[in-house]
Amino acid sequence: MRLLKFSASWCTPCQVLTAQLNGIDDDMPALEYEEVDIDEMPDKAAEYGVMSIPTLVVETADGEEVARHSGFLPKDAVRELIEGGR
């Protein structure tokens, strides 16, 4: 599974979410975690159709999107989002 977090440096909820997600890939060894700054990678944000931030996208290893959430989530809810996408 792969978790992509779309955010920007100026986004306060994104910064809080980043702190919440710190170490999530250590807690879930099968998870690949990637942060995407929409200002630095606008093409990737457009490719995923990201309209607001923060946005979390859960994908299978094959790149199939299985879950998405826009807005802040606490770490436990992020885990549920990931596990629901399995």
Active site residues: 11, 14
Q: What is the pLDDT of residue 85?
A: 62
Q: What is the pLDDT of residues 27-84, one digit of tens each?
A: 788 889 999 999 999 999 999 999 999 999 999 989 999 999 999 999 889 989 998 8
User: 2-84 belongs to which CATH class?
Assistant: alpha beta
- pLDDT computed for residue 27 by the predictor: 78
Rounded Cα–Cα distance for residues 20 and 75 (Å)? 5
Structural domain spans, the chain: 2-84
CA 53 → CA 7, 30, 42, 56, 75, distances in Å?
A: 5, 25, 12, 9, 16
